[in-house]
Amino acid sequence: MAKYFDVHPQNPQQRILDNVVDLIRSGSLVAYPTDSCFALGCQLGNREGLTRMRSIRQLDDRHHFTLVCQNFAQLGQFVHIDNNVFRAIKAATPGSYTFILPATNEVPRQLLHPKKRTVGVRIPDHVVTQALLAELGEPLLSSTLLLPGEEEPMTQGWEIKERLDHVVDAVLDSGDCGTEPTTVIDFSGGVAEIVRRGAGDPSRFE
């Protein structure tokens, strides 16, 4: 049965953040809010968590998982970014964008696209997510909480708790959450390719 945490959207309680981070570090899979919509997240290197995310969402090995990072310093450990791409991404973050980039050796092999050796990264503009990432001290391995056969992600914490009670370990709820996944920009070829139009304005990359 999943634990349910009701957290203040602007001043998240430290006690709750500590509890959720402890769960993540102990191998738990959590559902948490972002600036686009709810996501599933676990600790980087948590193979069981990764397998559970694939199972919940019925994903194949070509799916780009995302490393949700607190800041650019953290993001730079996991992907290769040239100067032009750096400026473009810097201008759009934090925000509702996911960027696909060539991965560094810090990224576990099972997260990489099997042919392109790429991974998704993002820096969210969300108070609770940022507080959680600051407490964790490393990126969250994540995927949008979009269930198979459904067109829109889940947006209500109580509903997630109700429907996924036996497949996730915790739900972190801070109230209203967005309904659109991130806009996905693939920079792995050196120029911007819009893969998915979502919550972030894609016009700056067109």
Structure confidence at residue 114 (pLDDT): 80
Q: Of 60, 105, 97, which is closest to residue 80 (Cα–Cα)?
A: 105
pLDDT above 90 (res 17): yes
pLDDT tens-digit readout, 114-138: 888 999 999 999 999 999 999 999 9
d(C-alpha 72, C-alpha 44), whole Å: 17
pLDDT above 90 (res 24): yes
Query: Helix, strand, or coil here: 125?
Result: coil
Tokens for 191, please give them.
Answer: 């120029």
Asked whether the beta carbons of 122 and 65 are under 8 A apart, the reply is: no
How crowded is the C-beta side of 169, counted as CA atoms within 13 Å? 19
d(C-alpha 67, C-alpha 21), whole Å: 16
Structure confidence at residue 39 (pLDDT): 96
DSSP 79: B
- Average pLDDT in the 104-115 region? 88
pLDDT above 90 (res 154): no
pLDDT tens-digit readout, 60-70: 877 889 999 99
Give 155's pLDDT tier (boundaries 50, 70, 90). Answer: confident
Asked whether the beta carbons of 34 and 174 are under 8 A apart, the reply is: no
Structure confidence at residue 153 (pLDDT): 85
Could you check whether the bond before residue 94 is cis, i.e. omega within 30 degrees of 0? Answer: yes
Structure confidence at residue 200 (pLDDT): 94
- What is the CATH number that goes with domain 3-205? 3.90.870.10
Q: Where are the domains of the chain?
A: 3-205
pLDDT above 90 (res 177): no
